[in-house]
Amino acid sequence: MARYFDVHPENPQPRSLSQAAEVVTAGGLLAYPTDSGYALGCQLGNRDGLSRIRALRQLDDGHHFTLVCSEFAQLGQYVQMDNDVFRAVKAATPDAYTFILKATREAPKVMLHPKKKTVGVRVPKHTTALELLKVLGEPLVSSTLILPGQTEPMTEGWLVNEELGNQVDAVLDSGDCGLEPTTVIDLSEDEPVIIRVGAGDPGPFEP
């Protein structure tokens, strides 16, 4: 069964966050809360973790994994942004958006779109997720926890633990969680393309 960490939503206990981070750095798969539902996360370059996410969610090779970062300043290491994109993404960060961008050489090749060489990036607006990322000191490779056949993400930590406790290594529960997935915007080409409308307002990126 997964290890279960129940933390305070406003002041998550450092010990629990450190233990959850240790699961990730040891190669484990973590379910954790964000401002747009639960996500599955593993360490950068963790091929087995990515394979487990693909299997759990029944994803194909064209799925865009996301680097969930603690702050906007981290994004430039992993994705390419010209001045216009830089300003647009910065203005919408942190919030419930995922941006698809061309990857730099620093982004793990195993998580890139096989043809486009793109990757998703986002900065959540969620206390527990941000504190976890600070403890880790690096982004989490993530995918929204939407089960096969469903259209909305899981939002209750106890239910994630009950249903997926045999398929993940740890569940981090802080009680509070967004109910809608992120709005996904592809900024890898000349014009923005709205891939999915979710919690983030797509208005600033519409033609």
- In the predicted model, what is the mean pLDDT of the chain? 95
State what percent of residues in the chain have pLDDT above 70: 100
Both tokens of residue 184? 């996904």
CA 23 to chain centroid: 17
* 63: confidence class by pLDDT, cuts 50, 70, 90: confident
Q: Cα(180)–Cα(170) distance, rounded to whole angstroms?
A: 22
For the stretch 65-85, pLDDT in tens is: 999 999 999 999 999 999 999
Judge whether residue 172 has pLDDT over 90. yes
CB 120 within 8 A of CB 139: no
CA distance readout (Å), 3 to 22, 28, 60, 137: 11, 11, 28, 21
How many structural domains are present in the chain?
1
Q: Cα(147)–Cα(61) distance, rounded to whole angstroms?
A: 17
Residues of the domain holding 168: 3-205
**Across residues 177-182, what is the average pLDDT?**
90
Residue that is written with structure tokens 């906007």 in the block = 72
Instruction: Quote the pTM value.
Output: 0.95
**CATH code for position 10:** 3.90.870.10
